[in-house]
Amino acid sequence: MPRIYRLFFASILLLSLNLYGLAGCAGDPARAQKAHSGRSSLNSPTPSSPPAPLNQGTLSLPELPPRQGAKKNATESSTGRPDEKEGSIPESSTPPKSVGKQAELIFHGSRQTKKVALTFDACEDEQPRGYDAKITEILKASQVPATIFLGGKWVESHPAAARELGSCPLFELGNHSYLHPDFSKISLEHMREEILRTQKIVEKATGQRPRLFRFPFGRYTRQALQVVEELGLKSIQWDVVTGDPDPNIKAADIEREVFRLTRGGSIIIMHINGRGWHTAEALPKIIKGLREKGFEFVTVSQLLLEKP
Ligand SMILES: [Zn+2]
């Protein structure tokens, strides 16, 4: 291994030890919470002037989110619907609650930074889903922070896993709705119910109150964005899609897509609900490869603190 990389790894190790201590993830939710508290605007439903970094990678409607190559491979979930497909902005017949204010949709952080965020969705609808504990083990062993978007029903089916994730200071927990409905098709009231119910479940199970929201299937409407913002959450999409819900996509394919698409500020989407078929297999190489390229892993909230 070249000397420069040895030095790099040594500095990362020192930094990790400094940040998280030798205890690893022995469980300190208060500490994890502290990592999230750096951004008061995340809790404000009506930020009068959002901090500049938030403008990085956000969407000004009615643009469409970027379509990535791997998305064409998005697989069918057992509900018969494509999982985590690209977003869409159909106009709803219901008028928005407040007109004129533009809700943000974040695809990535500042491109001027070498920081990137790994994100993992724990989706669950009527069909029971699993928990890929190997992913958690790898992240902890490599001291890699990540943002994990929890479905409310998934938390109810996996209380021990949710507790474990909530107790590790490496992990930031987001809200991924209760029953994973398509937010481009449900009523505003249904959206609020899905989000608020999940907020309560996640907070009770993990001690963390989510500040971030990820739309099921990445689908939303203008009104849906507004609802998320009104409830004090930030809508987080992604700019690097791994295609990991597709069982035909191998670990090598996931790695290749991540290395091809990741840039400074990238938000990478994967799955931790057992539907990321080769995610755990690909993860060690992704972590090693991105670190060798000089990228540093942070949570989404940490990423959004970066200056543009
Ligand atoms: Zn999902």
Q: What is the DSSP string of 1-46?
A: --HHHHHHHHHHHHHHHHHH-TTTTS--HHHHHHHHTT-GGGG-SS
Question: Cα(90) to centroid of ligand 1, in Å?
Answer: 20
Contact 34, 75 (CB under 8 A): no
pLDDT band at 26 (very low <50, low <70, confident <90, very high): very low
pLDDT of the residue at 28 = 36
Question: Cα(11) to centroid of ligand 1, in Å?
Answer: 35
DSSP H helices in the chain: 3-20, 29-36, 133-141, 152-157, 159-167, 188-206, 222-230, 251-261, 279-292, 300-304
pLDDT of the residue at 307 = 80
In a domain, 273, yes or no: yes
Question: Cα(10) to centroid of ligand 1, in Å?
Answer: 36
Within the chain, what is the greatest distance between any pair of CA atoms?
A: 61
What is d(CA 150, CA 128) in angstroms, rounded to the nearest whole number? 14
What is d(CA 198, CA 119) in angstroms, rounded to the nearest whole number? 18
What is d(CA 39, CA 25) in angstroms, rounded to the nearest whole number? 23
Question: Cα(13) to centroid of ligand 1, in Å?
Answer: 32
Question: Cα(176) to centroid of ligand 1, in Å?
Answer: 7
Mean pLDDT of the chain: 78
Pick the residue with more confidence: 161 or 81? Answer: 161
Give the three-state DSSP class for 64: coil
Question: Cα(76) to centroid of ligand 1, in Å?
Answer: 12
Question: Cα(174) to centroid of ligand 1, in Å?
Answer: 12
pLDDT of the residue at 292 = 98
Strands 115-122 and 105-106, sheet pairing? unpaired
Question: Cα(243) to centroid of ligand 1, in Å?
Answer: 12
pLDDT of the residue at 163 = 97
Question: Cα(220) to centroid of ligand 1, in Å?
Answer: 13
Q: How many helices (H) and strands (E) does the chain have?
A: 10, 9
pLDDT of the residue at 6 = 54
In a domain, 16, yes or no: no
Question: Cα(274) to centroid of ligand 1, in Å?
Answer: 12
In a domain, 1, yes or no: no
In a domain, 173, yes or no: yes
Give the three-state DSSP class for 76: strand
Is the pLDDT at 44 greater than 60? The verdict is: no
- The single-letter code of the amino acid at 133 is A
Is the pLDDT at 12 greater than 50? The verdict is: no
CATH number at residue 132: 3.20.20.370
Q: What does the pLDDT look like over 200-230, one tens digit per residue? A: 999 999 999 999 999 999 999 999 999 999 9
Instruction: Give the bridge partners for 148, in sequence order.
Output: 120, 173
Mean pLDDT of 158-165: 97
Q: What does the pLDDT look like over 56-105, one tens digit per residue? A: 455 544 333 333 332 322 332 333 333 444 343 433 333 334 444 578 99
Question: Cα(147) to centroid of ligand 1, in Å?
Answer: 13
Q: What does the pLDDT look like over 94-142, one tens digit per residue? A: 333 444 457 899 999 999 999 999 999 999 999 999 999 999 999 999 9
Is the pLDDT at 198 greater than 80? The verdict is: yes
pLDDT band at 242 (very low <50, low <70, confident <90, very high): very high
In a domain, 15, yes or no: no
Give the three-state DSSP class for 294: coil
What is d(CA 158, CA 124) in angstroms, rounded to the nearest whole number? 11
Number of domains in the chain: 1
pLDDT of the residue at 248 = 94
pLDDT of the residue at 308 = 77
Residues with CB under 5 A from ligand 1 (ion): 121, 123, 216
Instruction: Indicate the range of 39-43, 80-84, 195-199 predicted with least confidence.
Output: 39-43
Instruction: Indicate the range of 7-16, 29-38, 53-62, 297-306 predicted with least confidence.
Output: 29-38
Question: Cα(216) to centroid of ligand 1, in Å?
Answer: 5
CB atoms near residue 109 (< 10 Å): 28
Question: Cα(79) to centroid of ligand 1, in Å?
Answer: 12
What is d(CA 191, CA 224) in angstroms, rounded to the nearest whole number? 7
Is the pLDDT at 13 greater than 80? The verdict is: no
In a domain, 115, yes or no: yes
What is d(CA 240, CA 303) in angstroms, rounded to the nearest whole number? 15
Is the pLDDT at 47 greater than 90? The verdict is: no
Question: Cα(217) to centroid of ligand 1, in Å?
Answer: 6
Domain that holds residue 147: 27-90+102-304
In a domain, 114, yes or no: yes
What is d(CA 203, CA 91) in angstroms, rounded to the nearest whole number? 32
Contact 237, 65 (CB under 8 A): yes
In a domain, 96, yes or no: no
Task: Please work out, in degrees rounded to the nearest 5, the angle formed at the alpha carbon of residue 235 by the alpha carbons of 233 and 238.
Answer: 145
